[in-house]
Structure 1
Amino acid sequence: MFVEIYQRLLSEYGPQGWWPVTPPGERTPRYTGGPRDSAQRFEVAVGALLTQNTSWRNASRAIENLNDARLLSPAGIGGAGKNALARLIRPAGYFNQKAARLETLARFFEDGSAVTRDNLLALAGVGPETADSILLYGFGKPFFVVDAYTRRIFDRLGLLDGRAPYERIRRIFEGEIPRNARLYNEYHALIVEHAKRFCRKRPLCGDCPLRDRCRAAGAGA
């Protein structure tokens, strides 16, 4: 069923080109197929932290500010100073807290630490979803990302308990679909797109491409 859901979503929405990164010479992250070098991999890590508890639009505005200030690098963020950094990332919310966490993240990358799940989870403010986003979208490592959209959609489909612990849901996905980073990347991006279009908090069930598989179909408009 998990593979069938992926195939339906891909047929409906097409490839998503995640994660958005800033092309050379530009200031705004765009969906161009993910990072191509170490600078863009670091940008993915920054974006994964900035988008915590806010929309990607707000996180993107903060990244634009960092680009304008020429600080979107481990050295730039590490040397900016917490107050200046907080002002630049203000659009992402929780800016003082996130500034401190970005400084820690920048030191981690500057030190050349191994980018492993355990090492990322040891950093302040990096939980499983953020760590897996960095690993999957930044470094092409096969860790399935579980977010609120994943929980909502697959709970409504009756395929898992959306209240279950993060690791349990991640293991379900990784056991049901081939362990492949490109597949995980595309699948999670499609989940986000589907949640935005149809499987909202108040779902739009009428034209949903998964309606015939959903036990909650008809609960919304």
Structure 2
Amino acid sequence: MQASDEELTTQGLDATGDGRVLLLACGALAREIIAVQQQNRLSHLDLQCLPAIYHNHPERIVPAIKEAVTKYNDDYDSIFVVYADCGTGGLLEAACQELGVGMVKGPHCYSFFEGNDAFEARDELTAFYLTDFLVRQFNAFVWKPLGLDRHPELRDMYFGNYEKLVYQAQLDDPDLQKLAESYAEKMGLTYEYRYTGYGDLETTLKTL
């Protein structure tokens, strides 16, 4: 049976020996981190995820990271934060420097999935991005929090300045592609599919 997203956010990866690293990560990245860990045999990495809903509440990220680092610091050789800035306005980077832990480079997951350099070069100000996680959880993380399930007439107010929906796919999954395309139509946006794989997330974890 396939694990649910909620189960994945609390899954630890068993590791033994020296050089153990704890990954403190966004729950929205759990599947991808586990896939990278398994594919690259990174058995020294353990995973502890914060609630994925913090994706919508960046003000909760820094306090939660500080609490987790304090809690687990003595149990690991090092701790690495698998968040980018993620709407914290530089506060997460400052906290990580203060705590002496590393973090993923980039403004957000959309950037590091594509590759930070490639993403910056695109300069897409009118694109709305979805990842595999957000396609699976579109209603819970996009539609309902914006109140569009109750007030669909607000759609143009939220998305009127966007021109396209870009689905950054980590997996080549036709079912997810169909869902993403249907969400683009629902939002009144043109649709673009862009397979990114794990991008800078994978290259970063492989260096730990």
Which one has the bigger helix percentage? 1
Scaled by the length of structure 2, the TM-score of the pair is 0.28
Scaled by the length of structure 1, the TM-score of the pair is 0.27
